[in-house]
Structure formats: C-alpha cells, structure tokens
Structure 1
Amino acid sequence: MRGRDEQVTGGVVAARLRRVRPHLALVAAGAPVVGAAVTVVLGGWLPGLVVPALLLVLGAAYFRTRRFRPRRWPTAGAVLGALGGAYLGAVSPWLSPSAVLFGLGGWLIARRARDSVLRPYTPDLADSPVEIPWRARGAPGLELLVAHDRITLAGGRGRFRLVRPMVALSGVGAVEQVMVARRATLPVPGVGELRVTVTPGPAVRITVPPGEWIVPTDHGREIARLVARRKELAGAS
C-alpha cells in the first residue's frame, strides 16, 4: 500500500506542491516574525513574544496537515495574517491597520498558492492525494470536493455551511455527465433539508446511497474520470 506522501514524490503535482511551499511558509511565518521583531525593537513586553511564537506553530501545523487541501488555504491565510496584524496593533496603536493589511496579504498569497496547485487541471492530479474542488454552475458557493478517499458536497452559504454530505469512494456508484433540460431544485438523498438548484445545461450525476447527486457543472467528464481513477487507486491500495 502506497502512503499518501509517496504518491506525490515525483511528477507535475509534486513540482507544483514544491513551488508553493515558500508561499505557505511566508503566510505562516511572515506576521509572527514581523511581530516578534517589532516587539524587540520597540522594547515591548518580551513575555508577549509567546503570542507570535504560538501563531507560528499553529500556522506551520495547519499548513502541514492541510497540505493536500488547497481549497482551505486562502481562508487560513487571511485568519493567520489578521491575528498576526492584531498582535502588532497591540504592540503599538500606530500599527493597528496591520490586521487588515496582513489579513489581505495572507489571503492573496495563499490564494495564489492554491491556484498554482489546482490550475490548470491535469490528469496527474487524479493520481495524487490532493483534494480537487469543482464549483457548481448556478449555485453560488456550492462545490463538489473529490478527495483521495471520499466525495463531499460543500458550500459557504445556507445549510451547506453546517451540513456537508460525504460519501466514501467505496460507496460511489456510476458517475456520468448528463444534460439538464430545465431549472429545478432537487433534494440531496439522505439529507432531507438540503436542496441543490440545477440549471439547464451539462451536469454530473453521481450514484450514492440512497439515491443520486446531480450537480450542475460543465466538467462532468473530467469528474467522472477523476472519481474512476481514484476508485481504482483505492482498490489497488
């Protein structure tokens, strides 16, 4: 059985992940290092250096454990940057705008790192443990996430913010591209309170217990190949 790290020791995806390491290191360490330096230079309360040290440890741990989930990086970068900037504001009131500036900077750098890993989409990504997000067409905030071992419907709006239907790849049946003739709002099987708005055009139909998901997207064929390949890899592990 190959480990998840071993799956990306070479190839295009490994090269992409290596290229973004400096960006993620900057997001994790930039604000804490600046905060520590400013504290020393301004003669601040030295025991307070535990705060940037803690932020540094938390940032490094986060990006280490989420290195295969690029979708989450921009939000994490914004939060870490804002916290580091808030510490600077506590050291000196003149530095209060740092929370906004560092938060925005962290978000931008992490977003660029995310895009560098996920774009353009290539078949190499299917052989890696990187979680691939696919945005739903006409359903703001809704995404289909294809991980190395599961698929998930996730979103930042409405009920999808709190309830995220998830199915192990072993439980996924047929995945195929279909055409939707008219707009409809369909329930998510097994999660009665959730609905997906399907707009006319291509969609992907995924057979899951106890029914099927229909997600509007122009990338149904790519998703079908991705899921098939990852199911194949999981079966071979």
Structure 2
Amino acid sequence: MSEVERRHRRVQRVVAVIYLGIPLVLLGFVAWISSTGPAAAWIGCVVPAGMLVLGWILRRRHRYQPRWWMGVGGLYGGIAGLVVTLFPLVTGVWWPAILALPALIVGVVGGLALARYADRVLLVPVVPELADTPYELVFRLRGLPLAAVLVGADSVTIQSHPVPRSEQQFRTYPLAEVTGTFEFSLSGAERLKFPIAVNHAVATPGPAVILQASGEDWVLPTNQPDTLIDVLTRRKPH
C-alpha cells in the first residue's frame, strides 16, 4: 500500500466521523434521554436523525472536497454541544443548560479540529502523487490570508474567500484552458493585481507561480510552487 493510499484511508475515516459519527452518537444520546422522559421527548430524535441523513448525502458529495470539511465539522460539533446540554431539560434536568455556551464553543472547536486533522493528513506534506487522486487540492496563497487555489479533477479555481459570496471573489478555468505554468521569484516590492476582489493583500518575498489561462496571467505567491505546477501538469488533459 502506497503512502497516498494510507492517507486516503485515514482521511476518509475522519470524514466519516464528522459527517456520520457525530450525528450517530448524538442520536444515541437523545434516544437514551428520551427513554427516561415523556413520550413527546422522542420528537427530539428528529434533529440528530436529520443530521445523519444530511451527513450521508453530503459525505458523498464532499468526501473529496476538503474545503467543506471544516464548515460541516464546526456546524455539527456546535449543534451536538447545544443538544447535549439543552435536551436534558425535557426530563426536568436543568443544570446542564448552564454549560450550553461552553459546550457550543467546545463542540465547534472539536469539529473544526477533526476537519483540520483530516486536511493535514491528506496534504502534509503535499506530494505530486496526490494529483492522481480525486481530491480537490487546496494551495494557500502567501500574503493573502483567505485566498487559495483549488485544483479539481478538471478545473482550477482562484478565490479570495473560503466561501465566495459573489462572482467577483473567484475565477474558475477548465484545466484544458491552462496554457502555461512557470515558477517565479518575488522580491516583495511588486504590486500584484488580481482580476478578482482581494482584500488585505500583503506583498511578501518568496516563490510564486505564474499561471496562464484563458488569456489571463496570474502571479500566485505560494510556498509550494513545484508541487502546484506538478499537480496542474499531471491533471491537465493531454
């Protein structure tokens, strides 16, 4: 078994915990509390059951898209924290509700930590062989805190925000329209211009990649220029 295959198995186990494990454990907890309370308490199972069904659907869509893992992990963790502390109220146990806010915070942080762990297992260190997997690979841009390059199976996206809110915050090109990739070195004195809306850009010295696609040139400051070029080259249709 190769290193990439081992990563894949570990990553998918963690993704399954996020999308299915959290709601499944939560469903068991709610069912246990409901068994000691009034019959109407069983209605509470609707929340974790709905999370489980949604997680099953989303996991099939997101399993190869790391950019979604943190959002789902934080959301599911936060909901779990609230339910664990607030649902005992149906049986007359009120004291856990005092811990609702801390539980919400712990749940969100725990879900984000799981997603972050899965992301690190997959991408650290980034190796060109990942180009042969179906994963959408994310390359952060130096000096642009929220910006990233997403290399999918057949397209490359440059976006200035993790969840773009408008068409001005991202640009997507089919890999077939990528006409050139070149490594470049920045002195830090350049004023980079982007055809998308970019906030809080800070010029930094170091390596970069010049990406040419659909008649546009991009200068992408990245600390992994060789790997980004290798991935784009290997995924580009020949």
* Band the TM-score falls in, shorter-chain normalisation: 0.7 to 0.9
Q: Does 1:167 align with 2:169?
A: no
Q: Quick one: which of 19, 39, 46 aligns to 1:28?
A: 19
1:81 equivalent in alignment to 2:84: no
CA distance in 2, matches of 1:112, 1:47: 34
Further displaced range: 40-49 or 135-144: 40-49
Q: CA deviation at 1:205?
A: 0.3
2:45 paired with 1:55: no
For residues 41 and 200 of structure 1, the distance between their equivalents in structure 2, rounded to whole angstroms, comes to: 57
**Does structure 1 residue 98 correspond to structure 2 residue 103?**
yes
Structure number with the higher strand fraction is 1
Q: CA deviation at 1:86?
A: 2.5
1:16 aligns with 2:10: no
Can you list the C-alpha shifts for 1:158-199, whole angstroms capped at 9, x where unaligned?
A: x9653211111011111011122343333334x4x5576543
* TM-score normalised according to structure 2 size: 0.81
How far residue 90 of structure 1 moved from its aligned partner, in angstroms, is 3.5
Give, in whole Å, the separation in 2 of the partners of 1:48 and 1:214: 52
- Mean CA deviation greater in 73-82 or 25-34: 25-34
1-side partners of 2:77 and 2:21: how far apart? 8
Per the alignment, residue 3 of structure 1 pairs with: none
Counterpart-to-counterpart distance in 2, 1:218 and 1:230:
20
Number of residues paired by the alignment?
221
Residues 136 and 217 of structure 1 are in contact (CA less than 8 Å); yes or no, is this contact kept in structure 2?
yes
Corresponding residue SS for 2:16: helix
Contact 1:132 1:145 in 2 (8 A): yes
Q: Which residues of structure 2 form unaligned runs of 5+? A: 89-93
Cα deviations by residue, 1:48-69 (Å, 9 ceiling, x for unpaired) = 2111011012123222211111
TM-score (norm 1): 0.82
CA spacing shift, 1:229–1:38, aligned 2, 3 Å: closer
Whether contact under 8 Å (1:205, 1:214) holds in the other structure is yes
> Structure 1 unaligned runs (5+)?
1-9
SS in 2 for 1:176: strand
Q: Which moved more, 1:31-40 or 1:133-142?
A: 31-40
Match of 1:110 in 2: 115
CA drift at 1:147: 1.4
How far off its partner does 1:228 sit? 0.9
Q: What residue number does 2:143 align with?
A: 138
Q: Which letter maps to 2:112?
A: W
Which letter maps to 1:220? P
Q: 2:207 aligns with which of 202, 206, 211?
A: 202
- The Cα RMSD (Å) is 2.5
Amino acid at match of 2:224: H
**Where do residues 186-201 of structure 1 align in structure 2 (5 Å cutoff)?**
186-189=192-195, 191=196, 193-194=197-198, 198-201=203-206
The residue that corresponds to 2:91 in the other structure is: none
Q: In 2, Cα distance between the equivalents of 1:182 and 1:40?
A: 58
Give yes or no for the alignment of 1:122 onto 2:127: yes
Percent identity at matched positions? Answer: 30
**Residue in structure 2 matched with residue 176 of structure 1 by the alignment:** 182
Over 4 Å off, 4+ runs: 193-198
* Secondary structure class of the residue paired with 1:53: helix
Shift in CA distance, 39/202, structure 1 to aligned 2, threshold 3 Å: closer
